[in-house]
Amino acid sequence: MSELKEELKAKIIEQLNLEDVSVAEIADDDPLFGDGLGLDSIDALELIVMLDKDYGIRLSDPKEGRKIFESVEVMASYIEEHRTK
C-alpha cells in the first residue's frame, strides 16, 4: 500500500506537471483539491484517465471522483479495492 501511495504521488507530479512539488512534500492525507495541492477540474479529468489507463478502473460517474480524489490515501485505498490491472 505504501508503495502504491509513492507511485501515485510520482504519477500525479508527472502527469499534472507539478514542477515545484516533490514526492516528499505530498503527505498521504493532504487534500488534492482546494487548499492542498490546488488541483482543478482539468486535473480531475487527467486523474480519471490515469485510473482507467494504469489501473483499469473506469469511473461511470465523474462525480465519484470528488470522493476518490480527496487525498493520496483515499485514492490508494480505492485503487487497491477496484483495480483490474
Partner 1 sequence: MKRVYINSMASISSQKTFENTEFLDTIIEYSEPVIFAHDPDYKQYIAPAAARRMAKGIKMGVVASKIAMDEAKIETVDAIITGTGMGCMIDSEKFVSAIIDNNEQYLTPTSFIQSTHNTVAGQIALGMECKAYNFTYVHSAISFESALLDAKMQLENDEAKNILVGGVEELGEHTTKVHKAINHIKPTSVSLSEMLKSNTQGAVFSEGANFFVVSNEKLQNCYAELIAVETFNTLQKEKVSETIESFLQQNNVQLADIDLVVLGNNGDVDFDGFYNQLSDAIFKNTQQVYYKHLVGENNTVSAFGVWLASKMLKTQTIPEIVKINDTNLSEIKTILCYNQYRGQNHSFVLLKKC
Contact positions vs partner 1 (CB under 8 A): 15-20, 38, 42, 45-46, 49, 52-53
Question: Given 3-state DSSP classes, what are the helix, strand and coil percentages for the chain, each rounded to the nearest 5?
Answer: 55, 0, 40
**Whose CA is closest to 53, among 84, 32, 80, 25?**
84
Tell me which H or E stretch contains 85. Answer: none
Give min distance, CB of 23 to partner 1, in A.
16
Q: Report the residue number, 54 or 73, with the smaller CB distance to partner 1.
A: 54
- Which amino acid appears at position 8 of this protein? L
Q: Report the residue number, 1 or 25, with the smaller CB distance to partner 1.
A: 25
Give min distance, CB of 61 to partner 1, in A.
18
Give min distance, CB of 30 to partner 1, in A.
16
